Amino acid sequence: MIELLKIEDLDQVLSIEESSFAKPWNRQYFINEINNNEISELYVYKEDNQVVAYGELWFMFENCDLTKLAVKESERRRGYGSRMLRYLINVAKEKGCEFMHLEVDVNNEKALRLYQKNGFETLRTRKSYYENGDDAYDMMKGLIGIESRKILAIESSCDETACAIIDEDLTVYSSVVTSQIDVHARFGGVIPEVASRMHVEQISTIVKAAVDQARINIDEVAAIAYTIGPGLIGSLHVGGIAAKALSFFYNKPLIGVHHLKGHIFINELIKPLSYPLMALVVSGGHTELVYIENDQSFKIIGTTLDDAIGEAYDKVARVMHEAYPGGPVIDRLAKEGKPHYQLPTPKVDGLNFSFSGLKNAVLQLVKKEEAAGNTINKNDLAYAFQEVALNSLIRKTRMALEQYPCRNLVIAGGVAANSRLREKMQENFSDMDLILPPLKYCTDNALMIACAAVHYLKHDKFVGMDASSMPSMSIED
């Protein structure tokens, strides 16, 4: 979160300042800037109440000077500098400034790269600008006519119809989701034909609601994104056709997003992702360990050999005569459960998973008890199933990280909402930079597709009007 710097942030800011600069500003200087300098605005970027970056702007009519930008040493190379810079550029733009200026040490390669990447150009060299004799580059960026590109994204891979609009700086303009869950719950699972039909009924209303909420014209967006796969073929088609119609009518490029990349990249709304990154993808259709070297390189290093974990949750709930979707039900029942039933631990070599043996063991146990006229203690059974299933996720994730050391660990997908999984991840990976998506981002939505689409847009990865939906698309494609 980025906000105006307050006096109480100064201790943290000063410690970063002292370890970052040869001639650090002192406390009195900062206090003076905050209280007495009318042209100054200081901002801090905070993560869990800890300052990770800060910066200062001076507003001088049409010009804005970036007089300070610093990132805490232990948090560098994580994208905080870029986010802070883009935020400050937006502040300057909103105040009506036409240029942004800064000076940077010619030997500070990382800072130079950051500024160049963000559109700053060198105007001239100031000789011996710094006390140590280093030269400085005087850099400038024009602020007129530069708009962050907006993306309109559609998600329709399963039983949620959704549309969202964000810009490439991850400013959220709107996000609208409607779920068909109540209808499918009556049948104990998603009925594909019913899902497609309901998407057809909903899609125009949802897109219109997202555009209205964002208060934009579709003309203003830079691209139309949609989930191209994996998912239910009929459901995917509806979103695809809607996206193509918008793309054709408004003459906008089309982005076909992999659904699971959406589940991964929505974590960027929490904080920037650092690479290499390990993603534990746990949903109704997938259970995968994905090693991500950069935003273009995805390698599945472990996957389920049979059922996905969400599927196992849903089937176990069904066996216990509980409602669909089963995941949240089992999560709730298990909270009251005790260790009582014994279930077999899945035995699979390497980094792969298996949940069908565990699911069948639950099925057999229920049948046996019912045949004997005994009542199942649902809380205890949910507990037993969940502990075995989740422990296998934790064990394999640990093994994966030993083989593929990573800077970040994220969990992604519907099952990431599971309260016990979140607890276990925190307990077992306290040594890692772990990102848990907030619950509202775990279920399918279009914001996630938009967050992933930002990366496609950055790399000019578009699809044509003839692109087909891919129900079983791999994240490596």
* Binding characters for ligand KG4, 252-291, by CB under 6 A (x = yes): -------------------------------xxx------
Q: Using a CB cutoff of 8 Å and minimum separation of 24, what contacts does 29-38 make?
A: 30/5, 31/7, 34/5, 34/6, 34/7
Residue 224 within binding range of ligand KG4, rule CB under 6 A:
no
Cβ–Cβ under 8 Å, residues 254 and 242: no
Cβ–Cβ under 8 Å, residues 287 and 299: no
Cβ–Cβ under 8 Å, residues 147 and 441: no
Burial class from Cβ neighbours inside 10 Å (0-12, 13-18, 19+) for residue 321 reads exposed
- 328 contact, one of Zn ion, ligand KG4, none, CB 5-8 Å limit per kind: ligand KG4
CB-nearer residue toward ligand KG4: 40 or 283: 283
- Min dist CB 386 to Zn ion, Å, is 20
CB-nearer residue toward ligand KG4: 185 or 245: 185
* CA separation for the pair 149, 141 (Å, rounded): 17
* CA separation for the pair 55, 78 (Å, rounded): 16
Q: Tokens for 251, please give them.
A: 């003459």
* CA separation for the pair 175, 185 (Å, rounded): 24
Choices 92-100, 135-143, 323-331, 438-446 (CB under 5 A): range interacting with Zn ion? 438-446
Residue 417 within binding range of ligand KG4, rule CB under 6 A:
yes
Residues between 279 and 308 with contacts to Zn ion, criterion CB under 5 A: 283
One-character DSSP codes across 80-115: HHHHHHHHHHHHHHHTT--EEEEEEETT-HHHHHHH
- 81 contact, one of ligand KG4, Zn ion, none, CB 5-8 Å limit per kind: none
Cβ–Cβ under 8 Å, residues 277 and 298: no
- Min dist CB 70 to ligand KG4, Å, is 39
Choices 231-239, 383-391, 437-445, 462-470 (CB under 5 A): range interacting with Zn ion? 437-445
Choices 293-301, 353-361, 414-422, 424-432 (CB under 6 A): range interacting with ligand KG4? 414-422
Which residue in 180, 227, 418, 445 binds ligand KG4 (CB under 6 A)? Answer: 418
Residues between 435 and 474 with contacts to ligand KG4, criterion CB under 6 A: 443-444
Residue 75 within binding range of Zn ion, rule CB under 5 A:
no
CB-nearer residue toward ligand KG4: 55 or 326: 326
CB-nearer residue toward ligand KG4: 71 or 446: 446
Residue 196 within binding range of Zn ion, rule CB under 5 A:
no
Residue 337 within binding range of ligand KG4, rule CB under 6 A:
no
Assign 361 to helix, strand or coil: helix
Give the start-end residues of each E strand in 198-263: 221-229, 254-258
Q: What is the largest CA-CA distance in the chain?
A: 90
- Min dist CB 399 to ligand KG4, Å, is 22
Choices 75-83, 225-233, 309-317, 444-452 (CB under 5 A): range interacting with Zn ion? 444-452
Residue 328 within binding range of ligand KG4, rule CB under 6 A:
yes
Which residue in 240, 325, 346, 437 binds ligand KG4 (CB under 6 A)? Answer: 325
- Min dist CB 244 to Zn ion, Å, is 22
Amino acid at 289: L
Give the closest residue to 254 by CA, choosing from 241, 244, 268: 244
Choices 61-69, 271-279, 326-334, 342-350 (CB under 6 A): range interacting with ligand KG4? 326-334
Burial class from Cβ neighbours inside 10 Å (0-12, 13-18, 19+) for residue 399 reads middle
| Residue labelled with tokens 């016990």 | 420
Residue 229 within binding range of ligand KG4, rule CB under 6 A:
no
* CA separation for the pair 230, 447 (Å, rounded): 17
- 325 contact, one of Zn ion, ligand KG4, none, CB 5-8 Å limit per kind: ligand KG4
* CA separation for the pair 369, 365 (Å, rounded): 6
Residue 227 within binding range of Zn ion, rule CB under 5 A:
no
Residue 235 within binding range of ligand KG4, rule CB under 6 A:
no
The footprint of Zn ion on this chain (CB under 5 A) covers a number of residues equal to 2
Residue 33 within binding range of Zn ion, rule CB under 5 A:
no
Q: Specify the DSSP element, H or E, that contains 365.
A: helix 356-371
Residue ranges binding Zn ion (CB under 5 A): 283, 444
By CB under 6 A, name the binding residues for ligand KG4: 158, 283-285, 310, 313-314, 325-328, 331, 413-415, 417-418, 443-444
